[in-house]
Amino acid sequence: MNSVQGRKMSDTSIKAGNPELTKKRDKPKNLQLLVTLSGKQTMTYGLIGALVFFGLWEVAHLLTAEEAKRFLPSPLSVVQALITLFQEKDYMADVGISAYRIFGSFFIACVIAVPLGILMGCFAPIRALINPVISGARYLPAASFIPLLLVWFGPTDSQKMALLVLGVVFFLIALILDNTEAVAKELIEAAQTMGASRREIVINVVGRAASPAIMDSMRNMIAVAYTYLVIAEIVAAQDGIGAVMMRAGRFLKVDVIMAGILTIGIMGVLTDIVFRVAAHYAFPWNRKRKG
């Protein structure tokens, strides 16, 4: 018994002291499973990623033949084009109208989807009534409504916003339905046994419990709304970022097109940050615990 134990111990000490083995174990340190990064490390990695992207872009621009360079302008000339747009072309007005279309239509979509999704999640008959239509509608490409919307609304803001609403509202309802159904049944039953009214449970139990997930769904769907923005502003539009890009395309001003893409990207990132920060302060009880 003792000798067995003794042998075991000496075995491990040999292994632990073997520098070859130690080295081997240390190697994949940076890519281990379940390892989290500090905020600073995450920022550093993100910055490196962005620099590599712009670096590759610059290299690609430099390698492009001189006569084709205008089709792949350098990152800096895109930024230059963006500044010129703001300074000389009243671009702020276009950005403003695009932002108005996005946020206005997304607000309308939320006003429809949040109550409807929650009610569908809470009440089986409402779900059974509406779900078939919603599920089908999700598979219709929103762009296919453009001719119809043009006939109904003409080339107006309403037409563009209707397209954006159509593009996101069905997905948003489906997501919020899921978020609502994911609320633990025991929370509802506990409220029932406490004598809470149906209205109280729908609003203050299910609604409250699902709200962080609903906020997340909204954050994800507004990204989709951005993708429809350009589609909406390409057809029969005089203003907005999409219209600016379309006009630039007619004159092969690739730097301006890219400046438009960059604008939408920046707006998207800012929107995402706003949603995250709002969720952080709106749901202090849902913050991920540190450590």
Partner 1 sequence: MKLKREISEINIIGVNEVTKTYLGGTFTAVDNVSLNIKEGEIVAFVGPSGCGKTTVMRMVAGLETPTTGGIQVSGHNVQGPGPDRGMIFQAYTSFPWLTARQNVEYGMKILGVSAAERRERAQKLLEEVHLIAAADKYPAELSGGMKQRVAIARTLAQKPEVLLMDEPFGALDAQVRWEMQEMMVEIMDVEKKTVIMVTHDIQEAIYMADRIVFYTRTPGRIKEDVYMDFKKGHRFTSKEDLLSQPGYLEIEKQMFAWMREEIQLQAA
Footprint on this chain of partner 1 (rule: CB under 8 A):
184, 186-187, 189-190, 192-196, 200, 205, 208-209, 211, 283-287, 289
DSSP 18-57: -HHHHHHHHGGGGG-TT----HHHHHHHHHHHHHHHHHHH
- What DSSP designation does 286 have? G
Shortest distance, CB of residue 205 to partner 1, whole angstroms? 7
Shortest distance, CB of residue 208 to partner 1, whole angstroms? 5
For 39, the token pair is 């905020």
Shortest distance, CB of residue 190 to partner 1, whole angstroms? 4
Shortest distance, CB of residue 210 to partner 1, whole angstroms? 11
User: Residue type for 197, please?
Assistant: S
CB-side neighbour CA atoms (13 Å) of 123: 12
Distance of alpha carbon 218 from alpha carbon 205, whole angstroms: 20
Distance of alpha carbon 285 from alpha carbon 291, whole angstroms: 16
Shortest distance, CB of residue 212 to partner 1, whole angstroms? 9
Tell me the C-alpha to C-alpha distance, in Å, between residue 86 and each of 3, 77, 96, 251, 260: 83, 14, 12, 19, 11
- Nearest CB to partner 1, comparing residues 17 and 284: 284
Shortest distance, CB of residue 88 to partner 1, whole angstroms? 50
For 277, the token pair is 């920060």
- Nearest CB to partner 1, comparing residues 19 and 284: 284
Shortest distance, CB of residue 112 to partner 1, whole angstroms? 25
Contacts of 255 (CB under 8 A, 6+ apart): 70, 73, 77, 78, 80, 81
- Nearest CB to partner 1, comparing residues 24 and 208: 208
- Nearest CB to partner 1, comparing residues 188 and 234: 188
- Nearest CB to partner 1, comparing residues 13 and 192: 192
- Nearest CB to partner 1, comparing residues 68 and 124: 124
For 235, the token pair is 């057809």
- Nearest CB to partner 1, comparing residues 24 and 280: 280
Intra-chain end-to-end CA distance of the chain, in Å: 43
For 156, phi and psi rounded to 5 degrees?
-105, 175
Shortest distance, CB of residue 184 to partner 1, whole angstroms? 6
- Nearest CB to partner 1, comparing residues 190 and 269: 190
- Cβ 88 vs Cβ 99: under 8 Å: no
